[in-house]
Amino acid sequence: MSAFKNPKYTGIIGSLLLHAVVIAAFILATTMRSDSDGMLGRGGNYQVDMMGGGVGDANNQITPPKDEQQLKDADANTGLPTTQTEQTGDGGGLLAGIDTSGLPGQYVEETLHVRIRYPVGWSFMDQNKKNKLDGVTFLGTPTSTGVIPYIHIDVQEKFMFNPDRYKRKSEEKNYTMYYNDPELLEGQYTQTIYIHTETDEDYAIKLIVKGESDFREFQPVFFAMIKTFKYGNY
């Protein structure tokens, strides 16, 4: 049977298309707002850098370090974990030491009991499917260069999860985080954190920003928001 005739895959494809349309419309609406909407609250004194030491080549791909020593140097300079599995939880690690005090806004959702904090001046739009949360997008106000960062949380079907897609993971208190280095495509940087839970739903949290300097600026806000992320009864 064709995957497109299978109701399970049809629902997934439809959800992805819906997200794309909603996010595009939301970004367009945000760019049309007056500058009087206020200054962007970009968070507190964060110290996270996950760029991985790569630079963009002629094909807009991130070029990794060429040898083991360069990899170690890059990790030392950027804060990337040097081992595949980073034990975090309450004992420190990827999210340890991140200041979340610059995130006064709070998003609360009732169907899956998702909670997350976000910076002042940001806005959000959530989408439901069959009376249950399917995704939520957070939009920041434009930077001085006109770049709009956005962070999207997507509720994931567990049967689609494949840990082999990720190079690193962090064992948190209530879930496991899987992630790769940021990706670069046509000048747009993207980083996804996959949150694998013990509940019926997983979550993928994605940061998308155009331009390396703006990506680096908002990446700490991204990880601070993830640190405040809660779901279910947690």
pTM for this structure?
Answer: 0.66
Query: 53 — alpha (psi -120 to 50), left (phi > 0) or beta?
Result: left
Where does 3-228 sit in CATH, by number? 2.60.120.1690
Token reading at 39: 């200054």
Q: Alpha-carbon distance 46 to 67, whole Å? A: 30
Query: How high is the pLDDT of residue 95?
Result: 80
- Other CB atoms within 10 Å distance of the CB of residue 75: 16
Cα(151)–Cα(136) distance, rounded to whole angstroms? 8
Instruction: Count the alpha carbons within 13 Å of 63 in the hemisphere toward its beta carbon.
Output: 9
Residue 113 confidence (pLDDT) = 95
Q: How far apart are the first and last CA of the chain?
A: 40
Do residues 151 and 206 lie in contact, with contact meaning Cβ atoms separated by under 8 Å?
yes
d(CA 101, CA 84): 29
**Per-residue confidence (pLDDT) for residue 90, from 0 to 100:** 40
Question: In angstroms, rounded to a whole number, what is the distance separating the alpha carbons of residues 79 and 52?
Answer: 8
Domain boundaries, the chain: 3-228
- What is the model's pLDDT at position 196? 96
**Residue 68, pLDDT score:** 39
What pLDDT is stored for residue 75 in this prediction? 42
3-state SS class at 75: helix
pLDDT at 37: 37
Digit-by-digit pLDDT tens for the chain (234 residues) are 444 445 555 455 555 555 555 555 555 444 443 333 333 344 333 334 444 433 233 333 333 333 334 434 444 444 433 334 443 334 355 787 888 999 999 999 999 999 999 999 999 999 999 999 999 999 998 888 889 999 999 999 999 999 999 999 988 888 999 999 999 999 999 999 999 999 999 999 999 999 999 999 999 999 999 999 999 976
